[in-house]
Amino acid sequence: MNTKELLKKVRKIEIKTRKLSNNIFGGEYHSAFKGRGMTFSEVRKYQYGDDVRTIDWNVTARYREPYVKVFEEERELTLMLLVDISGSSNFGTRTKLKNEILTEIAATLAFSALNNNDKVGLVLFSNKIELFIAPKKGKIHILRIIRELLNYESTSLKTNISKALEFLSQVQKKKAIIFILSDFIDSDYSKSVQLLSKKHDLTGVRIFDLFEKELQKSGLLFVNDAETGRKLWINSSSKKVRESYNLSFRKNADYFKNSFSKNGAGAIALSTDDEYVKTLLNYFKNRA
């Protein structure tokens, strides 16, 4: 992609996603995450009207009367975007590829953070860390992130979600809002989700194409595995083949949901046909 084409795409993404973050999300982003940007200050005796969720049960048990934790809101939040750029993200049978949806969602979140005067950082990953941009503030910084989302070419086709989560855990010591955007065609990342979600506010956004969800009866199909390069013929007229294909998708979807939900992290699943704006807005409102 030449410079002129890239700048045109950046501008198009900026206009669309900034409009969404300004006019549709409004204060939803801040409302959803303001309570997460809190640092522990002290404990004090429970007073009428205090939120029971702030009770410190260890101190309460020690002194045999209720004590609550007191928090101070941090002046700024940090949003970290982990975006999957492996081979399987470059797939789509509908109006858009998965990576196009991932880019739009990431840009919308970034501009929402910009409106809240928060820092934004980016990690692009495959089965390794492809690019790390440290969190900073400002429109110029956000536009750089969008340029990289649009133009960065992965050096690997494979995926390793655990490696991305472990890397962020090492470089981001201060508590942050973290969105990992991927199709989550991977396994064995539940432990990494558990460890990261203990310190940070973590949300997984899983994008899939409807073709991946259910194999239609279409006769012989020549397919290419985007992450291994393996090419083969499959007989979609075979009920056994279709059931095996569909079961694999469901197992992958269940593993994603369980890995995030059971560890107290947020989980969003979207097809490339879904209206991601509506889904994100509902997610923010439910958290507020």
262 band by pLDDT with thresholds 50, 70 and 90 = very high
Q: Residue 34: what pLDDT?
A: 65
Q: Which CATH superfamily is domain 3-31+75-287 in?
A: von Willebrand factor, type A domain (3.40.50.410)
Task: Choose among 88, 86, 53, 101: nearest CA to 211.
Answer: 88
- Residue 31 reports pLDDT greater than 80: no
288 or 16, which is more confident = 16
Q: Residue 156: what pLDDT?
A: 93
Cβ atoms of residues 117 and 125 within 8 Å = no
Q: Residue 26: what pLDDT?
A: 62
pLDDT digits (tens, 9 = 90+) for 146-201: 999 999 999 999 999 999 999 999 999 888 999 999 999 999 999 999 999 999 99
Q: Residue 38: what pLDDT?
A: 59
Print burial letters for 262-278: b (CB count within 10 Å at least 16), e (below 16). Answer: ebebbbbebbbeeebee
Q: Residue 81: what pLDDT?
A: 97
- Evaluated on CA atoms 93, 94, 96, 98, the torsion sign reads negative
246 band by pLDDT with thresholds 50, 70 and 90 = confident
Rounded to the nearest integer, the mean pLDDT of the chain is: 87
Over residues 28-49, the mean pLDDT reads 71
Domain residues of the chain, as ranges? 3-31+75-287, 38-73
Rounded CA-CA distance 82/76 in Å is 20
Over residues 216-233, the mean pLDDT reads 80
- Report the percent of the chain where pLDDT is more than 70: 92
Over residues 213-220, the mean pLDDT reads 83
Cβ atoms of residues 72 and 41 within 8 Å = yes
39 band by pLDDT with thresholds 50, 70 and 90 = low
40 or 44, which is more confident = 44
Q: Residue 108: what pLDDT?
A: 92
pLDDT digits (tens, 9 = 90+) for 76-117: 789 999 999 999 998 888 788 999 999 999 999 999 888 888
Least confident span in 53-67, 70-84, 271-285: 70-84
Q: Residue 69: what pLDDT?
A: 83
pLDDT digits (tens, 9 = 90+) for 9-18: 777 777 777 7
Q: Is 95 exposed, middle or buried (0-12, 13-18, 19+ CB in 10 A)?
A: exposed
Least confident span in 18-22, 66-70, 200-204, 217-221: 18-22
User: What is the DSSP code string of 113-153?
Assistant: HHHTT-EEEEEEESSSEEEEEEEE-SHHHHHHHHHHHHHPP
